[in-house]
A and B are shown apart, each in its own frame.
Chain A
Amino acid sequence: MIDEREATSEERKAVRAGLDSRASNLARRTSNPWHHRYIKLVTVCTVILIAAGGMVTSTDSGLSVPDWPTTYGWNMFTFPLSKMVGGIRYEHSHRLIASTVGFLTIIVAIWTWWVEPRRWVRRLGFAALGAVILQGLLGGLTVLFFLPAPISIGHAGLAQLFFCITLTLAVVTSPGWKNATAPVDDPMLRRVAALTTILVYTQILIGATMRHTNAGLAIPDFPYAFGHVLPPLWNAKVAIHFAHRVGALVIAGAVLATAGHVLRHHRARRELVRPAVLLLFFVAMQVTLGAFVIWSGKDPVINTAHVVNGALVLGTSLVLTLRSFQAAMLGSRVRGIASAPVPGFGGAEAARP
C-alpha cells in the first residue's frame, strides 16, 4: 500500500511540483482581471484624493465648510454646485471625492472577499475599508475641532497608509504577482527596500507635521537655512522644518542604496529595475518640488504637487519592497503547502527533508 510507505525524494519533488502547478492553476483560475483593474482604478482615485486633500491645506481652506458631515446644513451630495466658491470649492470637492473613494472601497472589500482565495488578501480588502472609514471620521473631527495638529497629522498619515493598502492590493492581485515563477530571493534587497519604505513614510509624517504646524516657511531660504548650513536660530517650527530637510537627505541616500543594489545585482529583472529607476526619478522630482515650495512662498499648486509626489515616492518604494518580499512570501506559502498532510504520502512526514 502506497499510503503507508515513506516517500522517496523524487516522489516528494514530484508532489511539490504538482502542488506548485496546482497552486499556479488555482491562481490563474481565480485571477479576475476586472477585479485587479478595479483595484488599480481605486488606487488612482486615492492619488487624486490625496491631491484634493493637498489643495485643501495648501489653500488654507480646511475650515471653509464649518460643519460636518453636512455642508452648510445641506446633505453633502445635494449641496448646490453654484455655491462652491472660494475655499468651499476645495473642501467640498475633497469631501465628495473622499465619499466616492469610500464607496469604491466598499466594493473593493466585498469583491476581494468574493473572488480572492488568499485569506490575507481578503483581510487586506477589509482593512482598506476600515482605514477609509476611520479616515473619514478623522477628516470630520479635524473640521469640528478647528484643525488640531494631532488629528490633522493623523488624517494625513492615514491617507498615505490607505494608499499603501490599495496599492498592495493592486500589486498582489496582478497577474505578474500571481504567475511569478521565480521571484528574486535577496535578503539584502528586502532589508534595504523595507528600510527605505519605512523612512519615506516617516518623512511623510514629518512633512505632515510641518504642514499642520504651519512650519512650511519656518526656514525661508533654500538650500541654505537663514544663509547658513545649519539654522543659527532654533525653535520648534525651525526644528520640524530642518528635520524634514535632513530627512530628505537620508531618503536620498536610502533610495540610492536601494536602486543601486537593484541595478547592480538584478539588472535583468524588469519588475525590480522599473520601480527602482522610477523611485530615483520621483525622489529627484520631490527634492526639486520641495525647493520650489520654499522659493514660491508655498504656492498651493507646487505645494500640492510635493504632497502627491511624496505619495508616489512612497508607493514606488512599497512596490519594490513587495516584489523583494515575493519570494519569501511564496516560500512560506510553499512551505505551508508542503507541511500540510499530503494524501498518499503519510501526511506531514512527506515534508521532512
Chain B
Amino acid sequence: MFRNCHAIVFAGLLAAISACGSDTSKSSKPESPAAAPDAKKVDASTAATITGRVVFEGTPPHNPVINMGSDPACSSGNKGEVTTESVVVDNGGLQNVFVYVKDGLGNKYLFETPTTPVQLNQSGCHYLPHVLGLRTTQPLEIVNSDNTMHNVHGMPQTNREFNFGQVVAGLKNTVTFNAPEVLIPFKCDVHSWMNAYVGVVDHPYFAVSGNGGKFELRTIPPGTYTIEAVHEKLGRQSQSVTLGEKENKDITFTFKPAA
C-alpha cells in the first residue's frame, strides 16, 4: 500500500519536473475578454486621436555603466561606455514609457487580434526594443542575434512565468500571453543587466514614448477613457480624457525622479 503511494508520488514528481523542464512557453488558449453580443467595430470615420508627450521634470538620474566583462562576446560587441536604459531622457521627454487606454472601452468594441509577431531582439547583449507592447494572444517572437548564450526569463504576475535558453545566434522562440498585463519584466539571468518590459493589452490603443517622449494613440472611438502611463522605475500615472468625434486631443504626463 505504502509502496504504491510512494510510486504514485514519485511518478507525480517526475511528471511535474518533466512538464516544467520541457515547456518553454507560453499559453495555449486565448482568454480575450468576451465582447458584448452587440459589440461592433470601431468606426474610423468618427474616431479620435490622442497625441501627447511624457515629460521628465528635474535632473535625470545617471544610468549606471554596464560592465560586460563577464562575457567577452558582449564586451566585444559594444564599443565605448554602455549604460543601462532605465531612464532615457531626450529634450526633456522621457522615453520607454508604455502609454495605453486602461479603462473606458468596456466590451463594446470588437478588435481583431493581429497574427503578425512582434519581435524582441537580443543584440549586443541588449533587448531591442527595451519596452514594447502587444495584444493578448499576439505572438511575441524572441530572437537571439548574439554569438553567446542567453536565457529569456519572463516574469509575469497574471500570465505564466517562463524561462528558456537560446544557445546560439539565430534561434527564435515565440511566446503568447493570454491575459492583459502591464508591464511584464523580462530578464536575462546570464547577463544581469539585460532587461526588457512588455505591455500586453486586449485592444489596439497603446504606444511607447519615443524621441522627445512623444506618443500617439489613434482611431479611438469617442468616449471617456482612463489613460495610463507606466515607467519601469518611475511608476504609473493616469488621467481621464474625454474624446469627441474626430477630436485630436493632446495630453502630457510628467514624471519626476524617484524619491
Residues of A within 8 A of B (CB): 59-68, 72-73, 83, 85-89, 91, 140-141, 144-146
Contacts and interface: CB of A to CB of B under 8 A. Distances in A.
A66 B165 contact: yes
Contacts of A140: 17
A170 B188 CA distance: 41
A86 B190 contact: yes
Given A61-B189, A63-B153, A145-B20, 9 more contacts: A61-B192, A63-B151, A65-B165, A66-B163, A72-B149, A85-B71, A87-B70, A140-B17, A146-B155
B149 A141 contact: no
A86 B191 contact: yes
Most A Cβ at <10 Å: residue of B72, B74, B148, B149: B149
Given A63-B163, A65-B151, A73-B167, A87 B21 contact: no
Contacts of B17: 140-141, 144
A62 B163 CA distance: 11
A144 B20 contact: yes
A83 B146 CA distance: 13
B71 A86 contact: yes
6 contacts: A65-B165, A66-B164, A86-B70, A87-B189, A88-B190, A89-B70
A217 B29 CA distance: 40
Given A86-B70, A88-B149, A89-B70, A60 B189 contact: yes
Q: How large is the interface on B (under 10, 10 to 19, 20 to 34, 35 or more residues)?
A: 20 to 34
Chain A, interface SS category: loop
Contacts of B167: 72-73, 83
B161 interface: yes
Most B Cβ at <10 Å: residue of A59, A62, A144: A144
Nearest to B22: A67
Contact of A85 (B20, B70, B155): B70
B21 A144 contact: yes
Interface of B: 17, 20-21, 24, 70-74, 148-149, 151, 153, 155, 161, 163-165, 167, 188-192
A72 B70 contact: no
B189 A63 contact: yes
A140 B17 CA distance: 9
Contacts of B70: 85-87, 89
B171 to A, nearest CB: 11
B189 A85 contact: no
A64 B21 contact: no
Contacts of B151: 63-66
Contacts of A141: 17
A86 B167 CA distance: 13
Contact of B190 (A64, A67, A68, A145): A64
Contacts of B163: 63, 66, 146
Contacts of B24: 66
A66 B192 contact: no
Give the 10 A-B CB pairs with smallest separation, nearest first. Answer: A64-B189, A144-B20, A85-B71, A86-B190, A66-B163, A63-B189, A64-B190, A72-B165, A86-B70, A87-B190
Contacts of B155: 146
Nearest to A62: B189
A88 B149 CA distance: 9
A256 to B, nearest CB: 40
A323 B243 CA distance: 80
Contacts of B74: 86
Contacts of A66: 24, 151, 153, 163-165
Contacts of B149: 72, 83, 85, 88
A68 B155 CA distance: 19
Nearest to A89: B70
B212 to A, nearest CB: 33
Nearest to A59: B192
B204 to A, nearest CB: 31
B73 A85 contact: yes
Nearest to A74: B167
Contacts of B72: 85
Contacts of B190: 61, 64, 85-88
A68 to B, nearest CB: 7
A85 B71 CA distance: 5
Contacts of A61: 189-190, 192
Contacts of B188: 64, 86
B20 A60 contact: no
Nearest to B166: A72
B21 A68 contact: yes
Nearest to A85: B71
A279 B155 CA distance: 42
